[in-house]
Every structure is written in C-alpha cells, then in structure tokens.
Chains A and B, each alone.
Chain A
C-alpha cells in the first residue's frame, strides 16, 4: 500500500516518470493557442483541440484495456453514443419536439455533456454485462460485434441523418463563455481532459484500481480472495465507456457534425492504436499516443499525400523496437503493466 501511496504524490498523480514534463506541459498547453495566434496559424489550435479530445477517449479506453485487461475493440460505439447524444438533443432543441415525447432537447453544454456520459455509460453497462461473460479473443470480437450493431443501427436511422450523419449547426453553449471561439473551446476541452485524467489517476491508485490490476494479473487468485470479479470489471468498463462518451460529445461539438463513422470499427482500432502506441497501462501513455498518432498523421500528410506508406512501417518499427510504447522513451519505468 505504501509503495502506491509514494507513487501517487499530492494530486494522486504518479510524479516519478519525467518530473519535468509535469511542470512544463501545463505551461506549454496553456500558451499554445496564443502562440498559434502569434504565428497566424489557427489550425494549430484546432489540431490541439482534436488531440486533447482524443486523449480523453484513449485514456478512458486504457482504463479498460491497460489496467483492467479488457481488450475492447468496440469503444468507438461509446464515442458515437456521446456524439449522437449531443446531436440528437440539439436537433430536438431546434425542432422543439421532445425526444421520445418526454426528453426535451437542449443546446446547453452543462446538460449535454452529463447526458452524453449517462447515455454512453448505460450503453457500456449493457454491452459490458453481456461481453464480460466471455474473455480473450472472444471478448475482442464480441465488443466489436456490439459496436458494429450500433454502427449499422445509426446508419439505418433516417430520422437522425442515417448514413450522412447530422450537422450540429452551433456548438453547445456555456454560461459566460463563448464556445464558438476556437480558443475558448480549446480551453474547455483542456480543463475537462485534465479533470478526467486526474480522476482516472485517482481511480487507478485507489483500492478499486489495485483490485482491478490484481484481476488483470490473475483472475483466479482474486476470485479465491473473495473479490466479485465480474462486478469490478463491469464497473471499470462503464467508467471507461463514460469517458469515451464525454470525448464523443466534445468531438461532436468540435466538428459540429456527428455521423455513424464515429462508431466505425476503424475508429475503435485507431483508439486502440493510440493506447498501444503510447504505452498500455500507463497514465500518460494514451496521451502521448494520441498526440503522436494525430501529430504524425498531420505532419506526414502535409509532406506527402501518401503519408500512410511511411506511417505503416513506422508503426511496425515501433512495435518491434519499443515494445512498451512511446512512453518508455520518456521514462524507463513507465511500464505499469509489466511492473
């Protein structure tokens, strides 16, 4: 117990790997939109916003995948549920007709974000409750199956745009803040991401997180200790789904557009890649992974139209020579999963 308490530090954050990073990162992130303005390149802010939002999703997936050992290939479903909650509430707000006859639409972010998290949490509870009856490769595939079902369900829902998706004409509003301003929206996302990551690190360091880690290492041993494994895993899966739903809601606001593509299996794959790329089962791994993947995509795409021909072999090389992900570059001790 005292070892984990040592690791956590004051904010419940593991301070040891790259202490300097913790001091420099907030300054850089806060200064970023102003630097972008000074350079006259507003695309930097939107790129950073996208990275920050996907950090939330990747870190949430990592709670299930890295800490809980539940390899979900269907997390894009929760991204989509979060996004569609925003989109559907907005379209009902505009039309003035309540959803299902009793849920009024809204464009208030203080309502839509919690609604998105509740909706995706419910979806995760349903999918998790069924999927967790299997394990291993079967778990990977059954989560994929449920995500694909939702994907095709939304494709066939003509009332909400079907295949084409739906446009959210205006970003959800916040009191006292103008979310239509890209810089303001960036800071909203940044604060939410920091809060969510802080919460995740508290969860990982708590008794709940330790039990979850124990289950990942040996289910049988934890069962022998009298731990209700299924309930712990389901709880972690639901929290993970809620975080991904939050990211989906922000993504819908950010691009002012939601479509079934948000829950396509390639999106699930991309979230997984971010986590693996950065380092499975580490707090900062998914953050690094999301930043690296989207950053590399953007840089390579600016360099050549055929950027994937460079990206592909690069990923292979990273797997072969950095088995613990990019996080191991920052700190040799980053491997919580292997430690």
Chain B
C-alpha cells in the first residue's frame, strides 16, 4: 500500500507545549482516528499537515509531495472540515457552492446539489438560520464535492446528536468505497472511531504514543480487574495504566501478560479505555509506584 501521508521528525513548539512526532504514515484507503485529550496536539498536527502553522523541524509529505513546496497542488486533492464551520452567516449553501466551484478544478456541482438534498439542507436559506448540525453537514458536503483523495476532519461530529453523527459517518464510509481515498479524523468521540477507523493514533502531551491497526490494538490489550487485595499480584511493568476505585482496581495490560493472571478478570478494552489508561491511567500508575 502507498503512503498518503508521511511524517518524519516533525517538531513544533508553542510556548511550553511541544509536539514531536518522529514518524507517522497513513496508507491509502484507510481511516485513521487521531485521539487524545484536549491539548494533546491533535489539532496542531492537522494544522501542520495543512500548513496552517509553520513546523519548526521535520518533513511532511502528502501524496508523496512536500506539503509546503507543493501546497496548492496538494490542497486540490484534500477536503477539510474544521470543528467550527467557517462559512459566512449571510451566505446560503447555493452562494457557498458558487464561490467554492472557483477554488477547485474538480468541483462537481451535481454532487454538491445531491449532498445538499441528501442532508436536507435548504440551498437558499442563509447559514445563520442553520443549526450546528446543519452547518457541520454543509461543511462536510462542501469538503467532498471536489472529489478529494484525502479528507482531513477536525472533530467533525463534536456537539452533534447521535442521529446526525450516524448519518455523517455513513457518508464517510461511502466516501471510502473508492479505495484510493483516505480519511484522517481527530475525535473525542471514540465510539465514532469504533465504527469507522482502521487505525488509531494516540497523542499525549504532544507525543505520539502509538499508531496501530484498530483491531490489532483491541486484540493486543486487556483490561484486568480485581479487588484491592489482588493489586499486589500484578507486576508493575506489565501494567500500562491503572485506575483504582473503592471496590478494587482496573489495569490495562498487554493481552499475553493478562493471561498470566487467571485469577483476575480480563476484558476486551474499548478505544476510550485504551486512551484513558495510556494517558490518565499512567499518572495513577506513577502515583502507585511512588506510594510503594
């Protein structure tokens, strides 16, 4: 498979915050979910890809081209949706279509009309009369009408009700029926990623913790549960993260390690649990070490 996005030695500093991604690739035909807490560096990474902010060091190649040198060629093939819709309130979807058709060589008026129709967006109503869900649908429709090869989506389903989210996710799945297309999606809503992501990348405090195939990721970890008295059984180095409550503890371990403790209950983790254990759970684990 060819790489749609390749990152090497990427560095960006914002005051105290430092983003460092030594290596990261996205294959064609895949959906990559970028997860992490607020301020982990998800939006910064997406902005660096789009050259909306300048990198301090490193290389970013999209479709094999440097994202700064060939910025405009690359952007002809990318559809972008930000967490906040960026359209003027006074303009209608029809006006917006008329503007954007001048930006992209492959703009497809028919596709735009079909998507407006599919999302039940009134073409002549000003955007100021739209709900947040309608505005996000409009952003997505506008991002998809030049037949991009890559969609970059920053929290596209944030603040939307489950029905709209589901509709949008279905849209993304249809987009991926052409296997040359890819999606890079940052989201807090890990259930969305459960549904559509092929690979998951976790960012924590500006560091890329892992980037793995979703199924392999879910298969290779287990959440081990037990009473407080059983915590001592668990070897510290086998634990990725630890959470304690008044009934006992939960720990994330590699699945093969979890098998060594048959006396403890082991369950399949969700993406959210993996994310929490890798970030928040790590801190608790550190606290435990300090206490011991």
A binds B: no
Q: Which residues of A contact B (CB under 8 A)?
A: none
Interface residues of B (CB under 8 A from A): none
